Structure 1
Amino acid sequence: MMNEIHRPILVFGATGRQGGSVVKALLKTHWPVRAFVQDLSEPASVALQEAGAELVQGTLEDANVIASAMKDVHGVFSVMPASLSAEDEVRYGTCIADLAAKNHVDHFIYSSGASAGDKLTGVPRFDAKPRIEAHIRELPLTATIVRPMIFMEMLVRPGFGLDEGRLVSLIHRDHSIHLTAVQDIGKIVAAMFADKARFAGMTLKIASDRVTGHELEAAFSEAAGRPITYARFPDEVLAANADLAHMASSLEDGPLAERVDLDLMREINPELVSLRSWLKGEGFEKLEEALLWRPA
């Protein structure tokens, strides 16, 4: 397959984390990339073009531009911006899938969310992704759905205590959490585009590592070069933040508590990154920023 001359992959969110990771991984495997971007002059867009991607300018409102961008592509990678309302996320996510079906795209990969699960909660922002998933499954479209587990980047956000030697997150110290390095998402998606027959029709949770609260404390202390103590968010913080509360609950007995087969992940992506290696590599700069953060 990889020796054939490839038709392009159209990548949405190409200047964002997931889409950018997919573009990078596809270009590394010499697959032509058509990157959908809002602003051609944005530094991230310029960098994509310099890396070898073909740019298409448009917004998610531009159905005609999107349809035109899908012409003669092999595949489409669809991911929705986190900034969208639930209503817009469903509208744009289903529209892109509809256009892919209408344009007979060979392989459609949608990045959903691991906390989505298969059951609707009745809360629009939690139900947007499963609603898009359900819509995709009804279409005459060869599709793969990936559900990345919680991003490692979430642990190194400035202002959450690392500057004071504290790491606060969603699990109890003796519980475990699956984490995903964004760079792995691109490599896994690229491998899926390279093997449509294997991944067609599949919905797959993806992750890079699984660690306990104790292991988080040890990994961050080692990477920071000083003691970092781990604690779960206090109950009152969770009670005041519906998104955090939903994720914490899901990590205990919901979709985020389900095991990801990390051996399968390594088979799909032999370069899978552990949390420890991510903190020393791709995540080190972000860790440094969080350690040095000072309140305004």
Structure 2
Amino acid sequence: MLSSDANQFVYMDSPCSERGYPMTNHRRPILVLGATGRQGGSVAKALLKAGWNVRALVRDPIHPVSAALREQDVELVRGSLDDTDILAAAMKDAYGVFSVLPSDLSAEDEVRYGTSIADLAVASNVDHFIYSSGASVGDKPTGVPRFDAKPRIEAHIRTLPLTATIVRPPIFMEMLVRPGFGLDQGRLTSLIRPDHSMQLIAVDDIGKIVAALFSDKSRFAGTTIRIAGDRITGHQLESALTQAAGRPIAYARFPDEVLAANTDLAHMASSLENGPLAEPVDLNLMRELNPELLSFRSWLAGLDRKALDAAFGRNGEADQSTRL
């Protein structure tokens, strides 16, 4: 293992080479940003499965999540988004870059990092750059800095001499089973009216779709693609969750007064009803790119017992009769 100070690469020896196994391929690597997070992690996993060499920027190479990447033969580079010299070095000889930014950034920091990463990709002669934006991006500014950051980055990318693909994922399926939405109390409160629908995607499917895009640059260069795995109404959410829980789960939309008091929620609710989040995704194309694409029901069916128990606030002993 070759380590170094903060101004240089940190290369980890390949676990496969240590064990005498052959490398999966000899292609130039793809640099994955955010590989220790959900979206970047799913992309790294899918690229490895597709036979790509993967390089990841990580703050702490010995953190358990980073160590797990190393065990999968991911080349680790120690650094942060502020380390432009390290980022540029990480892009050296890379075939592609997958750029996804942390969700806790301020709007101005998001724009600063997003545009800088794309500029570095140009300077590094990256063959294919994929930026993960958001399905709430529309043609008009919203006036909400958090939602207007991504279209500003998209617009900058389109001005560059860069072969790029922009993906716009919708709400993650995983977000619907987080604590605080009422599942443990027999209800789900969300953003659509019961008879309206919204598009969802499992995080793992983002990675599989992105891997397919990297494998077909000529087809998807210069395109912006809304991606999703399913389109489902509030009533259908209620039915699927009731079956998974083994007890009634009632669905309701956030009350108008709650939406009125929260600018972000109000914008998303409006966008789901008649804005960018309501624009249909070509699910046939999604299945072409990812034959393993998950519907919400199939995603729920794939959750293990522990995850289901945590989602529905049960102790693991009750509700054993339910499985999709």
- Superposed CA offset, 1:200-246 (max 9, x none): 00100000000011100010011111111111111111112211111
- The 1:193/1:126 distance shift into structure 2, 3 A limit, reads same
Matched, 1:120 2:138: no
**Which position in structure 2 is the counterpart of 1:50?**
71
Deviation at 1:282, TM superposition (A): 4.1
**Which position in structure 1 is the counterpart of 2:271?**
250
How far apart are the structure 1 equivalents of 2:55 and 2:90?
Answer: 8
How far apart are the structure 2 equivalents of 1:46 and 1:85?
Answer: 29
Deviation at 1:122, TM superposition (A): 2.3
Deviation at 1:293, TM superposition (A): 7.0
**Which position in structure 2 is the counterpart of 1:27?**
48
TM-score, normalised relative to structure 1: 0.96
Deviation at 1:5, TM superposition (A): 3.7
- When the two chains are superposed, the root-mean-square deviation of aligned CA atoms in Å is 1.5
**SS of equivalent to 1:204:** strand
Matched, 1:201 2:222: yes
**Which position in structure 1 is the counterpart of 2:200?**
179
How far apart are the structure 2 equivalents of 1:284 and 1:116?
Answer: 36
Residue pairs, 1:40-119, within 5 angstroms: 40-119=61-140
- Opposite residue 41 of structure 1, the aligned amino acid is I
TM-score, normalised relative to structure 2: 0.88
- Superposed CA offset, 1:99-145 (max 9, x none): 00111100000000001222212221111000000000000000000
**Which position in structure 2 is the counterpart of 1:133?**
154
Deviation at 1:286, TM superposition (A): 3.8
Q: Pick from 253, 270, 279: which aligns with 1:232?
A: 253
How far apart are the structure 2 equivalents of 1:258 and 1:283?
Answer: 32
Identity rate, percent: 72
The gaps in structure 1 that reach 5 residues or longer are none
How far apart are the structure 2 equivalents of 1:286 and 1:38?
Answer: 28
**Which position in structure 2 is the counterpart of 1:273?**
294
Q: Pick from 166, 169, 176: which aligns with 1:148?
A: 169
Q: Which moved more, 1:284-293 or 1:111-120?
A: 284-293
The gaps in structure 2 that reach 5 residues or longer are 1-23, 316-324
**SS of equivalent to 2:171:** coil
How far apart are the structure 2 equivalents of 1:287 and 1:243?
Answer: 28
- Superposed CA offset, 1:119-177 (max 9, x none): 21222111100000000000000000000011111111112210010011110010001
How far apart are the structure 2 equivalents of 1:267 and 1:253?
Answer: 27
Q: Pick from 227, 235, 246: which aligns with 1:214?
A: 235
- Opposite residue 243 of structure 1, the aligned amino acid is D
- The 1:282/1:185 distance shift into structure 2, 3 A limit, reads farther
Which structure has the bigger radius of gyration?
Answer: 2
- The 1:223/1:6 distance shift into structure 2, 3 A limit, reads same
- Opposite residue 121 of structure 2, the aligned amino acid is A
